[in-house]
């Protein structure tokens, strides 16, 4: 008997998915447990396995097409079945058509995706990332968003790339766009091209450049990167499934959870020195601990001592956990994702580093498994690598707390009667006041501060 492969529900809020890529073609054999397709949900791109062995007889949904949960995606011919006959039977079935092609959806207003999972959503402040490594560096990571040019046909049927503002000016001044060459990105015609075409002789002539005599050394001149002037264009960016889920979940979290915030400053000078020594010992293994690894270890230890913070709340019941499954907010191009480091309380620093790197890399590649994105009991959001001094994150429901980790930096602090320079870090706990009281949150932070300021306590 042939086996149907249907769209699985890969998250508890998933109502439809997109077949990104088929890993098997029609006529190819497939084993039980073998990866057969890549499916995009509202959270990530995940690999789908086949539970049956046989030959792929028919691929019902093409790459790039959407399909509702439970709808038919493919059929496998098992046993001694003839794949061609199975395919013919499939074609005669009455099937529910896929939702739509991406190209068709582009012509419509984007619909909001289903709400993100209550057990794991890309919460917290924009750009969160779990990879602190150095101290006090505020290097800015620039991201360039590439937008496709907007093509418009001219009278001869040729596709002319032109900005909306330039198109309006051309229509008003009766300028034939096909006679112009664009100077914008991708050859796009912009406002400047129309101004030059209308009045080429009105452009001012640049004054002659005077050069210094050969025996005079010109003083050094600071040159900043050229600033590109705006051209009046407007760009409408449709929400992706993930961004829609983030928007819904963030709104629901802030509307429904009474957040309160507590911040504590931690002296991590001794921790930094210990990290240097341990990294020297681990150098032959090519393992380099980050400050974030110590924070994760300390958070796990503190949560075991304060189970009221290591909990979830569903509106009627509070569930406290004896194990720590730590969520790590990770920035990806389309938004945020929170992979979960399970049983982190049982790991040493070296294992935390190795497991964290693997999870973060696969999260950015959107190759996480379902159980690696669910079941977190607490979340850490780290913006230390961006040089952020202090921030507050948004709780990831149904969890009752999230820790915002800022940069470790040198600050002037008072020790005794002296002002000295110490490596300091600000930590901010966001807590659900329905479950966690202010004193409970403060006790958790005090324990965390003690562990980080006396890092040897984490090793015993």
Q: Which residues pair with 336 in a beta bridge?
A: 331
> Is 152 one of the catalytic residues?
no
Residue holding tokens 């998915």? 17
Options 137, 152, 259, 433, the catalytic residue: 433
CA atoms within 13 A on the CB side of 193: 22
Determine phi and psi for 64, rounding to 5 degrees. Answer: 90, -10
- Residue 329 — left, alpha, or beta (φ > 0 → left; ψ -120 to 50 → alpha)? beta
Tell me the C-alpha distance between 260 and 418, whole Å. Answer: 34
CB under 8 Å to 198, separation ≥6 — which residues? 173, 175
Complete DSSP assignment for 51-119: SS-EEEEEE-S-TT-EEETT-EEEEEE-TT--HHHHHHHHHHS--PPPS--HHHHHTSPPPPPPPPBTT
Question: Could you write out the DSSP letters of every residue in 391-434?
Answer: --PPP-TTBSEEEEE---EEEEEEETTEEEEEEEEEEEEEEETT
Q: Going by C-beta distance under 8 Å and a sequence separation of 6 or more, which residues neighbour residue 460? A: none
Q: State both tokens at 252.
A: 């629901």
Distances (CA, A) of 393 to 2, 151, 263, 264: 50, 41, 12, 15
6: helix, strand or coil = strand
Residue with tokens 């909306």: 164
- Residue 392 phi/psi, 5-degree rounding, is -120, 135
Annotated catalytic residues are 433
């Amino acid at each position: 008997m042939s086996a149907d492969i249907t769209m699985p529900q890969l998250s508890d809020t998933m109502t439809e998915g997109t077949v990104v890529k088929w890993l098997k073609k029609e006529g190819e054999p497939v084993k039980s447990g073998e990866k057969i397709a890549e499916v995009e949900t509202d959270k990530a791109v995940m690999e789908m396995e086949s539970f049956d062995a046989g030959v792929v007889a028919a691929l019902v949904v093409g790459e790039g097409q959407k399909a509702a949960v439970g709808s038919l995606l493919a059929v496998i011919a098992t046993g001694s079945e003839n794949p061609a006959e199975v395919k013919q039977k499939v074609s005669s079935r009455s099937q529910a058509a896929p939702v739509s092609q991406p190209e068709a959806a582009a012509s419509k207003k984007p619909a909001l995706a289903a709400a993100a999972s209550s057990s794991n959503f890309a919460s917290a402040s924009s750009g969160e990332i779990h990879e602190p490594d150095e101290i006090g560096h505020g290097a800015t990571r620039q991201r360039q968003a590439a937008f496709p040019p907007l093509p418009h046909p001219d009278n001869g049927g040729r596709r002319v790339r032109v900005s909306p503002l330039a198109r309006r000016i051309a229509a008003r001044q009766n300028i034939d766009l096909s006679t112009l060459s664009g100077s914008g990105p991708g050859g796009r015609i912009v406002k400047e091209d129309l101004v030059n075409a209308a009045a080429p002789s009105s452009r001012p002539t640049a004054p002659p450049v005077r050069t210094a005599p050969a025996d005079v050394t010109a003083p050094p001149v600071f040159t900043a990167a050229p600033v590109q002037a705006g051209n009046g264009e407007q760009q409408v960016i449709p929400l992706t499934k993930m961004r829609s889920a983030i928007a819904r979940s963030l709104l629901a979290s802030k509307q429904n959870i009474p957040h309160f915030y507590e911040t504590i400053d931690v002296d991590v000078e001794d921790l930094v020195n210990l990290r240097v020594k341990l990294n020297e010992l681990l150098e032959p293994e090519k393992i380099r601990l980050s400050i974030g690894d110590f924070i994760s270890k300390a958070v796990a230890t503190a949560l075991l001592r304060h189970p009221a913070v290591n909990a979830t709340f569903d509106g009627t019941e509070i569930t406290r956990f004896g194990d720590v499954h730590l969520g790590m907010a990770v920035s990806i191009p389309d938004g945020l994702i929170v992979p979960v480091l399970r049983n982190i309380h049982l790991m040493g620093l070296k294992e935390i580093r190795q497991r964290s790197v693997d999870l973060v890399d696969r999260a950015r590649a959107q190759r996480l498994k379902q159980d690696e994105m669910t079941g977190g009991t607490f979340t850490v959001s780290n913006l230390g690598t961006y040089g952020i001094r202090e921030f507050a994150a948004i709780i990831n429901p149904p969890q009752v707390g999230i820790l915002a980790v800022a940069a470790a930096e040198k600050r002037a602090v008072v020790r005794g009667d002296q002002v000295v320079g110490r490596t300091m870090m600000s930590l901010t706990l966001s807590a659900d006041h329905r479950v966690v009281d202010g004193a409970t949150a403060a006790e958790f932070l005090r324990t965390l501060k003690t562990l980080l300021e006396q890092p040897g306590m984490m090793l015993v």
